Amino acid sequence: MFVDYTNIMAKAGNGGNGRVSFRREKYVQQGGPDGGNGGRGGDVVFVADGRMNTLMDFKFKKKFFARNGEDGGQRNQHGRDGESIVIRVPVGTLIREKETGKIIVDMYKDGMTQTVLRGGRGGKGNMCFATPTRRTPDFATPGQKTTEHALVLELKTIADVGLVGFPNVGKSTILSLMSAARPEIANYHFTTLVPNLGVVETDGYSFVMADIPGLIEGASEGAGLGLNFLKHVERTRVLLHVVDISGSEGRDPAEDFRVINEELRKYSEKLSRCRQLVVCNKIDLCEGNNENYQRFAALYGNDYEIFLTSAARGEKDFLPVKRRIAELLKEMPAIEAMASEITLEEAEIDETQWEVRRDSDGVALVEGRYIENLLERINFDDVESNRYFHKTLRRLGIIDALRRMGVRDGDTVRVLDVEFDFVE
């Protein structure tokens, strides 16, 4: 069973509560406050794992809760942080918020790690609130409580090259000759029922190739296995379109080629515009009669690069195919991640929790709980992160508010302890 779409429930850990406590020692009448802070809750972290190729495991395990932070203790003991939960998914898994369907993150790179839900902050113990004038604070703050989130996991395989074609034309055989993958190969239709991936190496360059179940006419209306699997080659940069040039099953290879392209077009504009190389396979079955091939080449030779191959004769015919693909890929832009459309934040922090003002020196300040929380998540050395930060300021209306306050291009703005130049 192949699973490429499923729901799960995830929850980061609650922050532990801060503690109220006072020192009790022999002979000490009134000890000072010694209530410790609560620990942070664990995060929910996703990792893209190149060895996985299905979301099957998630059919059985649905709940992924990180551990809560411990409450603060007496004698200045801080609560322990809750353990994070790490969820491994296949490369190419999109993680969406179920409620809105929006993409949280595209786990598009092997080894990529992404925190999707942050553990709640620990509360502060009363020892934090002692001041010269307030020696016995009898309060502490609670840990931040987190909520459960319904997430959708959707696998859209990432591969550089996708094999497409009718059933039984030799796609899986070709994958097995070009890579170390060992997909099932057999002389009947729909041998391949799930996408297979293989790493192809040539002259020190390597790329990933995906083999999917065969397509037939009407696939876009659900014939055969339908178009369900095309999403697993939708993100490829090159399609390797395989035809049985011998017509060994009584079909016309030129017509096969047209039909498959028509189905690709019906599925998606993007897929139909994808660079295609054509492999005319099973030439060994033509027994010296090249008529099919000549007709095919006459029809499509101007628009496509065509390779004549026999997978029955081993990998020999596929060495030039490998090399050509590598050449093409080297010149193409890398596969791009799908943009994140939403980040999940714990509800307790409210987007209205910010304010702008000027300090006594006239420097513009941005403050508030939302901003503190935002800053915790920003890495200013990272361009992406920086951009997100500025976008968020704009989205919340902070940029407008600063402008209304008279801040102009180039003025310094201080956000907590970070300073930056205002740009409209």
Ligand X SMILES: Nc1nc2c(ncn2[C@@H]2O[C@H](COP(=O)(O)OP(=O)(O)OP(=O)(O)O)[C@@H](O)[C@H]2O)c(=O)[nH]1
270 — phi, psi (to 5°)? -60, -45
The closest alpha carbon to 155, from 112, 209, 206, 195, belongs to: 195
Question: Which stretches of 227-368 are DSSP H helices?
Answer: 253-267, 269-273, 291-300, 319-331
| Residue whose CB is less far from ligand X, 223 or 334 | 223
Q: Strands (DSSP E) along 110-204, which ranges?
A: 113-117, 149-155, 161-165, 196-202
Distance CA 38, CA 140 (A): 10
Cβ proximity to ligand X, 315 vs 348, nearer residue = 315
Whole-angstrom distance, CA of residue 53 vs CA of residue 49? 9
- The DSSP annotation for 88-129 comes to EEETTEEEEETTT--EEEEE-STT-EEEEEPPPPPPPPGGGG
Contact, 317 vs 280, CB < 8 A?
Answer: no
Among positions 152-171, residues that touch Mg ion (CB under 5 A) are 171
Identify the residue among 189, 251, 258, 377 touching ligand X (CB under 6 A). 189
Regarding 171 and contact with ligand X (CB under 6 A), the answer is: yes
For residue 183, give every residue at least 6 positions away whose Cβ sits within 8 Å of its Cβ, in sequence order, or none.
Answer: 172, 175, 176, 192, 196, 198, 211
Q: Which stretch binds Mg ion (CB under 5 A): 6-14, 172-180, 236-244, 399-407?
A: 172-180
19 versus 322: smaller Cβ distance to ligand X: 322
Minimal distance in Å, beta carbon 112 to ligand X?
30
Burial of 421 (0-12, 13-18, 19+ CB in 10 A): exposed
Q: Are 326 and 333 a contacting pair, CB within 8 Å?
A: no
Residue 254 interacting entry, from ligand X, Mg ion, none, C-beta within 5 to 8 Å by type: none
Binding mask 228-267 for ligand X (x = CB under 6 A): ----------------------------------------
- Please report whether residue 37 would count as binding Mg ion according to CB under 5 A: no
Query: What is the SS3 string spanning 81-96?
Result: CCCCEEEEEECCEEEE
Q: Is 266 left (phi over 0), alpha (psi -120 to 50) or beta?
A: alpha
Vertex 330 angle, CA 383 and 113, to 5°? 40
319: left (phi over 0), alpha (psi -120 to 50) or beta: alpha
Nearer residue to ligand X within complex by CB, 151 or 286 = 286
Beta carbon nearer to Mg ion, 193 or 319: 193
Among 21, 146, 173, 196, binds ligand X (CB under 6 A): 173
Contact status: 21 vs Mg ion (CB under 5 A)? no
Question: In this complex, which beta carbon is closest to ligand X, that of residue 139 or of residue 190?
Answer: 190
Q: Is 196 in the site for ligand X (CB under 6 A)?
A: no
- The answer to whether residue 213 forms part of the interface with ligand X (CB under 6 A) is yes
Least Cβ distance, residue 1 to Mg ion (angstroms): 17
Measured from the CB atom, is 14 or 172 closer to Mg ion? 172
Rounded Cα distance between 268 and 386, Å, is: 34
**Shorter beta-carbon distance to ligand X: residue 153 or 163:** 163
| Binds ligand X (CB under 6 A): choice among 187, 303, 408, 421 | 187
Contacts of 208 (CB under 8 A, 6+ apart): 158, 159, 160, 161, 197, 198, 199, 200
Restricted to residues 282-341, the positions that interact with ligand X (CB under 6 A) are 282, 284-285, 310-312
Kindly tell me which of 54 and 392 has the beta carbon lying closer to ligand X.
54
173 binds Mg ion, rule: CB under 5 A: no
Instruction: Pick from 192, 202, 236, 281 the residue near Mg ion by CB under 5 A.
Output: 192
Of 31-39, 84-92, 184-192, 407-415, the segment contacting ligand X by CB under 6 A is: 184-192
How far is Cα 151 from Cα 108, in angstroms, rounded to an integer?
Answer: 17
Piece of 11-19, 66-74, 183-191, 249-257 that binds Mg ion (CB under 5 A): 183-191
- Check residue 172 for interaction with Mg ion (CB under 5 A): yes
Question: Which residues here bind ligand X, judged by CB under 6 A?
Answer: 167-173, 185-187, 189-192, 213-214, 281-282, 284-285, 310-312
